[in-house]
Amino acid sequence: MNDRRVAVVLGASGYMGSNLAPALAAAGWQVRAVARNKAVLEAREWPGVECWSADVLKPETLAPVLEGADVVYYLVHMMWTGSDFVPVERRAAENARKACEAAGVRRIVYLGGIMPKEKRSQHMEGRRVVGDTLREGSIQVIELQAAMIVGPGSAAFEVIRDLVNHLPFMITPKWVRRRSTPIALENVLTYTIAAADLPFEGHRTLEIAGPDVLTYQEIMNIYGEFVGKKPIVLPVPVLTPKLSSYWLYFVTSVPPTTAMSLVEGLAHDYVAEDHEMRELVPQRLLTFRESIAATLEAEKNRQAPARWVEGSIACRDWNPKYSFYAKKFCGEKETTASREALFEVLQQFGRDGDFFSYRPLWWLRRAFDWLIGGPSFRTGRRDPETLRMGDIVDGWRVLGLKPNERLTLSMLMRAPGSGLQEFNIRERDGKRMVELCSYWHPAGFWGLLYWYGHLPLYSPLVNGAVAEIARRAEALERASL
């Protein structure tokens, strides 16, 4: 008989959810990790974690995952739904709260952000709305409020990393002099797990923080010490956070909507008053320098929960000078061909220099790589007709392979960054699609220049490739009739 208490993590595919779900399991909870796409969770292969599919915007999907739950962690963000996401945040939180009430959940733990006293950004307004909406019901809500979380993949921290790694000189708004209390991921996890059993009646809001109070310029300077960079920062009064969010889109690899929302909120100090939480949950709080060291060590030791799109970092030994998140360009093509025929064509990738489109352009790129000592024009393919994990095809290595569904290749060619190509075969709206996404993790200013210099070529190369794959697969099926 299983007498472990059940913790449900809503939003388990996000940054905090990806770290919290396995941490809860390690702490002895029976964990149900929940996201819209169950396959994303299953790819993490967390020991002792059940993976479920549900959507907080579809209330009917929530009842099964919440049945028998003791505590629900609400870690859902709706910025992906568009610019006007605050009403969507409210509706999602309301759906989750009502479903928790119907299931008899004892407590909801919500991780929000420290609220500035002045006018809030849309991002912070969304965080406030979620907390208020969850508290409108009968279930007790414990809200933890944090500033910047320091860990691999944390959006706010990755913005800082990209700025330092990519820009030797920055003209910034005055927000670089605003203060924050960054907190290490491991400290946040300790607080968040403990929040399930804090001895409170009724709703409570608690701020959590690390031991340092730093300006964003100090944060950038300290990180720069770890990667051997000393960015020159020139604050100017005319560059508002709103304007800076636009150029940030070109500099950072953090998802654009997230990055822009974060920067718009940097016009405020985010200094936590965390005395109460320190007394309730005693632990050693890592300094900002220790937090950075722990982050880099976690990446080096492969402790960061990586997704396919982050996989190419692993091929470069988790070099901290490479962006954690990737720049991305995708193309797709509808086709009548079967999955089997499409995958048969995909396995011909790179054979005899054939990359499905613009063969002369590919030859020039390979020739340049060969001239500078790269691996192009070489092969480690073990079978001419099929690909296997680890095969080297010209300047690419097979990183992932799922028959009739996916082929993932990491780039071995010499370049200022780390690249990945992923082919997917999927069904959408009753139609079969073949998709190709190119991912690029820039390394410094030259890595950004490489991406934007090649960007005009991605549309013809990517769209041409998926069209040719579909054409060949359809021809293959016709020939077999």
pLDDT at residue 247, as a whole number: 72
For residue 78, give the DSSP letter: -
Residue 307 has pLDDT above 50, yes or no: no
Least confident of 243-257, 291-305, 386-400: 243-257
More confident residue, 118 or 167: 167
Instruction: Please list, in sequence order, all residues whose beta carbon lies within 8 angstroms of the beta carbon of residue 429, skipping any fewer than 6 positions away.
Output: none
For residue 28, give the DSSP letter: T
State what percent of residues in the chain have pLDDT above 90. 55
pLDDT band with cut points at 50, 70 and 90 for residue 324:
confident
Closest CA to 351 of 320, 301, 391: 391
Distance, in Å, from the CA atom of 262 to the CA atom of 254, rounded to the nearest integer, reads 10
Residue 152 has pLDDT above 90, yes or no: no
Q: What is the mean pLDDT of residues 41-70?
A: 92
Q: What is the mean pLDDT of residues 2-9?
A: 85
Q: What is the mean pLDDT of residues 90-100?
A: 94
Least confident of 344-348, 369-373, 429-433: 429-433
Q: Is residue 235 exposed (0-12), middle (13-18) or buried (19+ Cβ within 10 Å)?
A: middle
Distance, in Å, from the CA atom of 15 to the CA atom of 313, rounded to the nearest integer, reads 17
Distance, in Å, from the CA atom of 231 to the CA atom of 228, rounded to the nearest integer, reads 10
* pLDDT tens-place string over residues 222-281: 999 998 988 888 777 665 656 666 677 788 877 666 666 666 666 677 888 999 999 999
Residue 306 has pLDDT above 60, yes or no: no
pLDDT at residue 83, as a whole number: 60
In terms of DSSP H, where are the helices of 104-194?
122-134, 155-166, 185-194
Q: What is the mean pLDDT of residues 45-55?
A: 92
Distance, in Å, from the CA atom of 285 to the CA atom of 274, rounded to the nearest integer, reads 12
Q: Is the distance from CB of 13 to CB of 46 less than 8 angstroms?
A: no
